[in-house]
């Protein structure tokens, strides 16, 4: 059969450099029996948000943003050659939010049970998905959580059900994690209520405000906290709410504001944390692509993923890497 | 092996109604030996445009817009059940525009030579692609062309090479089609120069202005012209420059302006023309999704495709269909 | 006490013409014992939508759009002097969609039970709210429904629960209205599935497609249908899905497309229908202000409200009004 | 001296077709002693607007939009060969609105006094400029005015000074024009107050609502009114407030709304009116380019200018032109 | 009387957390006899701007942005419990800019004379309003001014009247403040003219450029200047032109540019300054919400207000607060 | 002849401060015989870009952005009084990209040959233009290049021809510059491939990553590199790809991403480099105004130009300037 000249599949990228691999090409659809260092799952739920949110589109836009990156870290002279297992997205029912949240736990329980990967990246969705995700992750292990967030997310559930303002309250109340094992970093002024600040204290949650981050440096905080947690938990889960960043850097979060972290600090922090073996899962939440500018916030998320992967592939312990 | 609960492939539509088929599902990637009534090919070239144009994105957005339509025509009580062969897109080199134009002719020559379909839909790209497409289409047959356009596209090629302002000039000069076999519909006032109006007359091109369309009705014009052309050509090719539409209806064309056709008239006209057996090809060009509003213009293009398909599937001769 | 010079309440309109009343000033918050010809209620639910929708913002933007209109109809030389009772909005829980739908029925049942108004305008929200609203409206009366829509909204409920694609299916299945008493106007080609077209026929739903509207005229259709329904029902409810309009006129609906009605036709139709005494309720749904252009679609909605009110205040029977 | 290869002046259009003249090239900066059929002046005032308006940018965007048109009318086979005198713009002081309004009258008085042109096109700016412009125009002649507008613009001046809501009130009160010599076309429902409708009647202003336009046709109205006015005034001035158009056609006016005129009707009407010798001036106002979509509304304005020019260059009397 | 189920007032926030107070709830409309620590007044004037500006909308958007903040400072463990008196906005005449400026002085004179608050926040509007505001503030006291600005705002008034480029020139020329008592911080390169730099020197105005800010730190500059001014004036007024910020942080100012301050520095500076008892007034100007991205700049303004309030409520003297 | 009151040329800025000169006024169209310190040329080519790019509009928007700056540096107390020669733009053929690239070399060869200026600023366009520009610049001199870029731009040319990904590869392969004489600053992680990193090493290109910049400071790197290069080359050419900046600062580059330089660092670096006499040329590329926010990126480019000019006009050697 004669080949048709110049034809390519619909939608495929027009340009391909023979010597360059795009990070998106690392994604490989899951099939049973696979064994990789890293896997990814999308959780497109945002109807649980208090405010109008299109965060359900983020699993798609973050994957697309990987197309803007290569697999090569020049800073380390390191090629990310291993494929990443992509389990796809959890199916969401259009009208039943609470059933969706159970469905996430069920789906991720099955995903984690495959044991095909040593490390997991969960792409939200709004922050409510972290409850379901951590619940699945904590079924067989004691979990410590490091939450990057401008907000405590410790709201009561009476006022609106299991929203994106409540995941960590619910995890504590349902004894899925212990307050001592929850660290919140980047909590911002005039962005939380005194009642929940108080609740965090009562529950022995460790809280670093933005002033703390500015004073101590993020990596120093992470070092302290990961070493503390590593002694008492089996695994550490990073929960990255993108609104921990200043609005100038992450314009696509529903709850934007000034006074937050810059993106370079976060990127360096994720790399630093990822070096630790016990850090085995990370979610990225609260990116609403419908209100973003040029998918900037999804681009940061994709970079966060690459830093996490890179950290896992470097031998040293977190203090000697060449840089960002 | 145990099935993972609730997982679906990344990016797949969240909601699926079991009783509804989306028009996009009609598209089926080409493989040799197929035989269908209709085939589609994308031609993502817009670097040949005089003005800055992102029409190269339109093959993708038009296919996506088919996702907004079902396969069912309630007006006719007709289900479009046959699949459409999708040959994908012609590959475009980033820097060599004229080579790309030859590549289109080569690629489409190979596509047409498969004879897998009786009717062809070509998705541009800018209007320059019609030269390459019609050249391929005319290799073995005498072709008549009905061009929907605000512009003659009969510019000289000295001033800028083979741009989107020149396709029909080049087809005439290269004797690929004869002036008598070219009909232009929708030519707008203060949108062309006297020199090219004169050239059209010299070449015996048949021209219907927008005033003609408003006075005579599009379907009456089409009836006259298709019957006239059918006597002297083997096949008729519709070239649909979306800027034949008024800017209020097609906000995503590079050359928008008032005083044009409304979309309903065009949609009815395409259905009418498609009934005729000799009408066997259609291109849709000059949609720039990067400047459109909510892909409105690509949505019209997808509807135009469906009208073309519907016309091919109706038995009667064009005068008795129930409606739009 | 000395008055402070030049101060006005925060947010109040800067300019006030002493001889002009804005339509928004007609709105008067409900208090028990009121008696008016017209009342309005907002239903800000859009989490029941199949696709991402911000229709929950529309009750606010439509009320704001009333600020762009005056209370005076020059066509009729008529001043709308009576106030409109504004019951405010039904409170929506952030995470429980189905409970919200029951809440709408409960809230509207209470509202209708006040009997403070003879005619009701319900501002959605997505189309799922019409189930809840009509259910409340039909508690004590036999209701006929005239639905303006590009879609049947007769989807099965298994695939996604009680979404904005299912309200009329659920009304029929729950025997809240009878198929004979449902008229659908503006149903568009390639926008519904054959299965639901068939279902409509089985249920004796009366369907007018856009081709029917173009051929017969909307007012003629309305005359036939209202007179037919008036014989068999106590009251008639108009359900106005704004996507019955062409995308060029209503750019802010989630499901936009070409081939629809123009806004002037709809506006004239609502006026015509409103003359009939049995037409006592109307909802306006499927406007998503977050994707609209300059609130154009909410502006039409506000005009639709005014036409409904004007119709109620004119003496003649629908055939002799001077015009739009 | 050696010519530098390939250099062209900064900002000049990249592409130039040797056989095409752009309408913008017709503009020729004024110098004393010129004599042409048509002249244009810009009046960039919009701080007199009741609402926030960037109409001061419109003289620039309308001139730029002429670049999208050629000088050739294919409908008439007519080339517009004569140059148009461009007097530039009236200088506006940043903080003194009322002084600006006097300045417009002074500047235009000087412009008209040059008698370099037989016909004048004034580009606003908001509608307040029509007061100043017509005042200058009426200094030596009796003027009849045909106003295309959704609004009467007959507001009292106590409530906000000489705004864009008051020009025709002020012209009547200052006896610059007589009520009998003012015709308003396109007045829309729920867009004016009864008090001003009454005032119009008291002043013997002739008013055609949109319902009148839909019923009688614009050209028929124009024929009646121009013939009536021609008997009693020296010259007729067209004042074209773009918001006479429906929002779907003119998205860039501050006061948009549905229920208005379509652009083709207006374009035909201007051509029709321009045939009459006594029609010697036209202003175009209320286009705010900062809120428009792709300068659509300025594009219509440029076309309106060309229709005005074309009408002046055709010999016949308005009833026999071939078309738009 | 039976309560209607689920109804809430139109437009009220859908979600309310019982344990959280939003900063916007602090605002309490003024009535005579009130006594509070802080009061706010809006001054919606932007027609005095040299360039097109919608800063008149900022009093509304800044108040709305307070809805994005809570009343609780976690950094200090402090709840802002006291209400803020909201005097509303100064009424602006649509056409008389200079009269508006007098009106601001009159209105604020009355407001200040109520002595209901010890500290005042004035929300502009463009920077021209600072002349009127400081004039009212200086009627009975000697005022020192610390101006955050990229520009001197010392233009002559001949070229355009009392614009937003002239407030401090006019204050000096009218002897309302003395040059020695004016400190300008953040003056940017290539953003002012030599003539006005010279004028500042002649008038003994103290100027810190952005290079000074980068070298010395903002808080150090503030400490020096407040202590210096405190010795010679009764009260200090902060005038915060948001364009002192870099365009990356404050995208909604009319005169954006690179090379400015980041928002965190400004926020810390306002807190620092507010500790001083003599700092008793602050205006925030030059935010144009119509060109902003997601109201980012208004969000910073609301945070600036909260920092000002927080500073007033902390006991210590400015050097020991825990941080931003 | 009597002067017409209040008239000004069309399009001229409304406001003019008599004591302020705008930087744009420095531009003076070239005519033979001129002799100035600085000249500028525009190169509006972006069809050579791999991705869709409107960088061809940047020469116009950057010149316009100069209108937002004055000619006065307050940091140095220095007025830029000398005019800048503006050679206009190189003419670009619409369809022949490779011919355009030759045309750029020819045009710039002629421009440089005039020797009217000692220093040159070239405004792109995409980065492909640097090949053509440096080729012309290197005709009679040995050239060292300092490239600010997130990318190596050392791609092979087989995969897409001479795109914006290849200029430095082509310069090396064509022996126009030597690898030792090329310094790349700002190279970002996951943004290049290992193959090209390797190629850079093989060619002895000096590479500073963003981690290097963060660690060493840009000015220190520049000092080392300029002193190194100055010993071996005749002149140094700065090639400024704006995507070296973080996306938060330069939102208008086609290839945006986080992790880059902030704008203040770049501005200071350009000033520093410009002090060196051997630094005699600079291009600014990869700004696409069609996707920018409020022309922020062009505004930075204009400031970069002013820093370059300022550096040339300061006597000292780069270490003692007062600041930015
Ligand atoms: Ca969170
Ligand atoms: Ca958060
Ligand atoms: Ca064409
Ligand atoms: Ca065309
Ligand atoms: Ca519906
Ligand atoms: Ca619908
Ligand atoms: Ca008007
Ligand atoms: Ca008007
Ligand atoms: Ca200022
Ligand atoms: Ca300023
Ligand atoms: Ca580059
Ligand atoms: Ca680059």
- Residue A15: list chain B partners with CB under 8 A: 94
Q: Residue D315 has what pLDDT?
A: 55
Chain C residue with minimum CA distance to E85: C10
Neighbouring residues of A93: CB distance < 8 A, sequence distance ≥ 6: A99, A100, A103, C160, C161
SS (H, E, C) D126-185: CCCHHHHHHHHHCCCCCEEEEEECCCCCCCCCCCCCCCCCCHHHHHHHCCCCCHHHEEEE
- Residue F195: list chain A partners with CB under 8 A: 19-20
The minimum CA-CA distance between F44 and chain B, rounded to whole Å, is 11
Pairing of strands A279-285, B279-285: unpaired
| C-alpha–C-alpha distance, residues E170 and E138, integer Å | 14
Whether residues C110 and E1 touch (CB distance < 8 A) is answered with: no
Q: Do A150 and E324 contact (CB within 8 A), yes or no?
A: no
Neighbouring residues of B315: CB distance < 8 A, sequence distance ≥ 6: none
Neighbouring residues of A265: CB distance < 8 A, sequence distance ≥ 6: A213, A218
Average pLDDT, chain B: 95
Q: Residue C239 has what pLDDT?
A: 98
- Among A18, A20, A303, the residue with its CB nearest the CB of F259 is A303
Is pLDDT of F312 > 80?
yes
SS3 at position F137: helix
| Residue in C18, C66, C74 to test binding to D, most D beta-carbons within 10 Å | C74
Is pLDDT of A149 > 90?
yes
CATH of the domain at A154: 3.40.800.10
The minimum CA-CA distance between B189 and chain D, rounded to whole Å, is 5
Q: Residue C267 has what pLDDT?
A: 98
- Tell me the average pLDDT across A199-216: 98
DSSP state of C2: P
Using the Cβ of C211 and the Cβ atoms of chain B, whether some distance falls under 8 Å is answered with yes
CA of A284 to the centre of ligand 2 (A): 11
- Tell me the average pLDDT across B87-104: 96
SS (H, E, C) D57-122: HHHHHHHHHHHHCECEECCCCEECCCCEEEEEEECCCCCCHHHHHHHHHHHHHHHHHCCCEEEEEE
| C-alpha–C-alpha distance, residues E11 and C89, integer Å | 8
- Residue in B138, B140, B130 with CA at minimum distance from that of residue B104: B130
Q: What are phi and psi of D49, to 5 degrees?
A: -75, 145
- Tell me the average pLDDT across F1-15: 82
Average pLDDT, chain F: 95
Using the Cβ of F99 and the Cβ atoms of chain A, whether some distance falls under 8 Å is answered with no
Whether residues E8 and C63 touch (CB distance < 8 A) is answered with: no
Q: How many domains does chain E have?
A: 1
Identify the residue with better confidence: A302 or C322. Answer: A302
Using the Cβ of A166 and the Cβ atoms of chain E, whether some distance falls under 8 Å is answered with no
The minimum CA-CA distance between F91 and chain E, rounded to whole Å, is 30
| Residue in A45, A61, A94, A127 to test binding to C, most C beta-carbons within 10 Å | A94
| Residue in A166, A194, A207, A252 to test binding to E, most E beta-carbons within 10 Å | A194
Neighbouring residues of D236: CB distance < 8 A, sequence distance ≥ 6: D143, D144, D145, D146, D226, D229, D230, D273, D276, D278, D279, D280, D281
Whether residues E193 and F303 touch (CB distance < 8 A) is answered with: no
- Tell me the average pLDDT across E117-126: 98
Q: Omega before C125 cis (within 30°)?
A: yes
| Residue D293 counted as domain residue | yes
Chain C residue with minimum CA distance to B300: C258
CA of B165 to the centre of ligand 3 (A): 6
Whether residues A158 and E306 touch (CB distance < 8 A) is answered with: no
Q: Residue E317 has what pLDDT?
A: 40
| Residue D256 counted as domain residue | yes
Number of H helices and number of E strands within chain A?
9, 12
Query: Subunits that touch chain D (at least 3 Cβ pairs < 8 angstroms)?
Result: B, C, E, F
Is pLDDT of E1 > 60?
no
- Tens of pLDDT, residue by residue over A56-85, are 999 999 999 999 999 999 999 999 988 999
Q: Can you say whether residue E38 is alpha, beta or left, with left for phi > 0 and alpha for psi between -120 and 50 degrees?
A: beta
| Residue F109 counted as domain residue | yes
Is pLDDT of F2 > 80?
no
| C-alpha–C-alpha distance, residues E306 and E27, integer Å | 12
The minimum CA-CA distance between E43 and chain F, rounded to whole Å, is 24
Ligand nearest to the CA of C191: 6
Whether residues F210 and A324 touch (CB distance < 8 A) is answered with: yes
A319 pLDDT band, cuts 50/70/90, is very low
The residue count for chain C? 324
- Among E193, E246, E247, the residue with its CB nearest the CB of F19 is E193
Using the Cβ of B47 and the Cβ atoms of chain F, whether some distance falls under 8 Å is answered with yes
| C-alpha–C-alpha distance, residues A301 and A309, integer Å | 12
For ion ligand 1, residues whose CB falls within 5 Å = A 127, 149, 151, 153, 241
DSSP element (H, E) containing E69: none
Whether residues B296 and C158 touch (CB distance < 8 A) is answered with: no
Neighbouring residues of C142: CB distance < 8 A, sequence distance ≥ 6: C181, C232, C233, C234, C235
| Residue D2 counted as domain residue | no
| C-alpha–C-alpha distance, residues C107 and C93, integer Å | 13
The minimum CA-CA distance between C163 and chain A, rounded to whole Å, is 6
- Among D15, D79, D263, the residue with its CB nearest the CB of B160 is D15
- Tens of pLDDT, residue by residue over E29-87, are 999 999 999 999 999 999 999 999 999 999 999 999 999 999 999 999 999 988 999 99
Ligand nearest to the CA of A163: 1
Q: Which long-range contacts link D180-183 to residues 24+ away (Cβ below 8 Å)?
A: D180/D204, D180/D205, D180/D206, D180/D232, D181/D142, D181/D143, D181/D144, D181/D145, D181/D229, D181/D232, D181/D233, D182/D144, D182/D145, D182/D147, D182/D206, D183/D144, D183/D145, D183/D146, D183/D147, D183/D207, D183/D208, D183/D225, D183/D229
Could you give the dihedral angle defined by the CA atoms of residues F158, F164, F169 and F175, in that order, rounded to the nearest 10 degrees?
110
Q: Do D45 and D126 contact (CB within 8 A), yes or no?
A: yes
**Alpha carbon separation from F214 to A75, E259, F208, F257, F265 (Å, rounded):** 12, 18, 10, 17, 10
Interhelix angle A218-230/A263-274, rounded to 10 degrees, is 30
- Tell me the average pLDDT across B180-203: 98
| C-alpha–C-alpha distance, residues A138 and B81, integer Å | 49
Q: Do E324 and A214 contact (CB within 8 A), yes or no?
A: yes
Neighbouring residues of C3: CB distance < 8 A, sequence distance ≥ 6: none
The minimum CA-CA distance between D19 and chain B, rounded to whole Å, is 6
Count Cβ–Cβ pairs < 8 Å, chain B vs chain D. 108
Q: What b/e readout covers C272-284, taking b as 16+ CB neighbours within 10 angstroms?
A: bbbbbebbbbbbb
Q: What are phi and psi of D321, to 5 degrees?
A: -60, 150
DSSP state of B53: -
**Alpha carbon separation from A222 to A185, A216, A227, B75, E181 (Å, rounded):** 9, 10, 8, 64, 47
| C-alpha–C-alpha distance, residues F296 and F309, integer Å | 20
| C-alpha–C-alpha distance, residues C40 and C111, integer Å | 10
Pairing of strands B72-73, A182-187: unpaired
Whether residues C20 and D195 touch (CB distance < 8 A) is answered with: yes
CA of C167 to the centre of ligand 5 (A): 8
C281 beta partners: C120, C237
| C-alpha–C-alpha distance, residues D228 and D208, integer Å | 15
- Residue D18: list chain B partners with CB under 8 A: 156, 158-159
ipTM of the complex: 0.96
Is pLDDT of C46 > 50?
yes
Annotated binding-site residue? F6:
no
Q: Residue A219 has what pLDDT?
A: 98
Query: Subunits that touch chain E (at least 3 Cβ pairs < 8 angstroms)?
Result: A, C, D, F
On the 0-12 / 13-18 / 19+ scale of CB atoms within 10 A, B18 is exposed
| Residue C129 counted as domain residue | yes
Using the Cβ of B122 and the Cβ atoms of chain A, whether some distance falls under 8 Å is answered with no
- Tens of pLDDT, residue by residue over F108-156, are 999 999 999 999 999 999 999 999 999 999 999 999 999 999 999 999 9
User: Any contact of B with E, at least 3 CB pairs below 8 A?
Assistant: no
Could you give the dihedral angle defined by the CA atoms of residues A40, A44, A50 and A53, in that order, rounded to the nearest 10 degrees?
110
Identify the residue with better confidence: B147 or D13. Answer: B147
- Among B1, B107, B110, the residue with its CB nearest the CB of A32 is B1
- Tens of pLDDT, residue by residue over D205-237, are 999 999 999 999 999 999 999 999 999 999 999
Identify the residue with better confidence: B313 or A152. Answer: A152
CA of C128 to the centre of ligand 5 (A): 8
Using the Cβ of B8 and the Cβ atoms of chain A, whether some distance falls under 8 Å is answered with yes
DSSP element (H, E) containing B225: helix B218-230
What is the CA angle D247-D253-D259, rounded to 5? 30
Using the Cβ of A198 and the Cβ atoms of chain E, whether some distance falls under 8 Å is answered with no
Q: What value does the CA radius of gyration of chain C take, rounded to a whole number of Å?
A: 19
Q: Do E133 and E283 contact (CB within 8 A), yes or no?
A: yes
CA of A66 to the centre of ligand 1 (A): 23
Neighbouring residues of E269: CB distance < 8 A, sequence distance ≥ 6: E148, E218, E219, E222
- Residue in B122, B140, B135, B148 with CA at minimum distance from that of residue B239: B148
Pairing of strands A36-43, A117-124: parallel
Owning domain of residue F145:
34-313
A270 pLDDT band, cuts 50/70/90, is very high
| Residue E21 counted as domain residue | no
Is pLDDT of D1 > 70?
no
Is pLDDT of E318 > 60?
no
| Residue E193 counted as domain residue | yes
- Tens of pLDDT, residue by residue over F243-302, are 999 999 999 999 999 999 999 999 999 999 999 999 999 999 999 999 999 999 999 999
Q: Determine the longest span between alpha carbons in chain C, in angstroms.
A: 74
C320 pLDDT band, cuts 50/70/90, is very low
- Tell me the average pLDDT across F165-192: 98
| Residue D16 counted as domain residue | no
- Residue in B322, B297, B28, B65 with CA at minimum distance from that of residue C191: B65
């Amino acid at each position: 059969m004669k080949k048709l000249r110049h034809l390519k599949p619909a939608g495929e990228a027009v340009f391909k450099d023979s010597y360059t691999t795009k990070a998106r090409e690392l994604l490989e659809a899951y099939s049973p029996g696979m064994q990789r260092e890293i896997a990814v799952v999308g959780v497109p739920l945002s109807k649980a948000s208090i405010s109008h949110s299109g965060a359900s589109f983020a699993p798609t836009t973050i994957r697309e943003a990987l197309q803007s990156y290569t697999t090569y870290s020049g800073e380390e002279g390191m090629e990310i050659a291993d494929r990443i297992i992509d389990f796809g997205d959890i199916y969401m029912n259009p009208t039943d939010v609470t059933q969706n949240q159970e469905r996430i736990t069920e789906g991720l329980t099955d995903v984690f049970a495959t044991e095909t990967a040593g490390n997991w990246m969960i792409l939200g969705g709004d922050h409510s998905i972290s409850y379901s995700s951590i619940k699945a992750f904590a079924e067989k292990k004691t979990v410590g959580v490091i939450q990057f967030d401008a907000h405590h997310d410790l709201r009561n559930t009476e006022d609106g059900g299991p929203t994106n303002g409540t995941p960590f309250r619910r995890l504590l109340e349902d004894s899925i994690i212990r307050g001592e094992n929850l660290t919140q970093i980047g909590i911002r002024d005039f962005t939380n209520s005194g009642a929940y600040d108080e609740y965090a204290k009562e529950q022995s949650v460790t809280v670093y405000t933005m002033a703390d981050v500015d004073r101590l440096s993020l990596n120093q905080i992470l070092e302290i906290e990961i070493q503390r947690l590593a002694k008492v938990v089996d695994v550490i889960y990073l929960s990255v709410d993108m609104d921990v960043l200043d609005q100038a850097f992450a314009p696509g979060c529903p709850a934007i504001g000034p006074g937050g972290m810059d993106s370079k600090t976060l990127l360096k922090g994720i790399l630093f944390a990822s070096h630790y073996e016990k850090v085995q899962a990370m979610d990225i939440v609260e990116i609403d692509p419908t209100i973003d500018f040029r998918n900037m916030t999804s681009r940061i998320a994709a970079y966060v993923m690459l830093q996490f992967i890179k950290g896992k592939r470097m031998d040293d312990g977190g203090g000697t890497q060449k840089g960002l």
